[in-house]
Amino acid sequence: MDFLKQKALKFYKKAVESFEKQEFDFVMFFVEQSIQLGLKFLISKRFGEIPKTHNFRILFELAELESFYKENLDTIREIELAYTASRYFDVEYSKEIAEKSISLAKKFLEML
C-alpha cells in the first residue's frame, strides 16, 4: 500500500505549489487529500485494508493518532471542511489558514 504514501506526498507537493501561486482553495483541497491518504496508508499497514470513510476523526482513531487530532483540532476541522467546500462552493481561504494547513500537513507527513 506504499502507493498511498506516495500519493499523499504528491498531494502535499501540489499544496505547496498552489500556495506559491496564492491559490488557497487548492491548497486546502490538496492538504486534505494528502492527510487523508497518509492516514489511510498508516491504517492499511496496520489492518491490511483501506477504510472507505473520509471522516478525519475516525481515520485518526484507526491510525491511533487521537492526540495529534485533538492537539490540532481547529486546523484539522478547517482542512476537513475543505474536502467539500473547496470543490463545490465559492469559498475563499486566507493565506494564514492555508499556511497553517500546509504546516500541519508537513508535521503529519513526517510521521509516515
For the domain that residue 85 is a member of, what is the CATH number? 1.20.120.330
How many residues does the structure list for the chain?
A: 112
* Of 41, 34, 32, 39, residue with least CA distance to 13: 34
Which residues lie closer than 8 Å to 36 by C-beta, 6 or more apart?
Answer: 54, 56, 59, 83
What pLDDT does residue 87 have?
A: 78
pTM of the model: 0.96
Which three cell numbers mark 96? 494564514
What pLDDT does residue 102 have?
A: 98
Neighbours of 84 (CB within 10 A): 13
- 3-state secondary structure string across 95-112: HHHHHHHHHHHHHHHCCC
Residue range of the domain that includes 16: 2-109
At residue 64, φ and ψ (nearest 5 deg) are 60, 45
% of residues, the chain, pLDDT over 90? 90
What is the tens place of the pLDDT at every residue in 81-100?
998 887 788 889 999 999 99
Mean pLDDT by 10 residues, the chain (112 residues): 97 98 96 98 97 96 98 97 86 96 98 96
Number of domains in the chain: 1
Which three cell numbers mark 20? 506559491
What pLDDT does residue 62 have?
A: 98
Rounded Cα–Cα distance for residues 50 and 45 (Å): 9
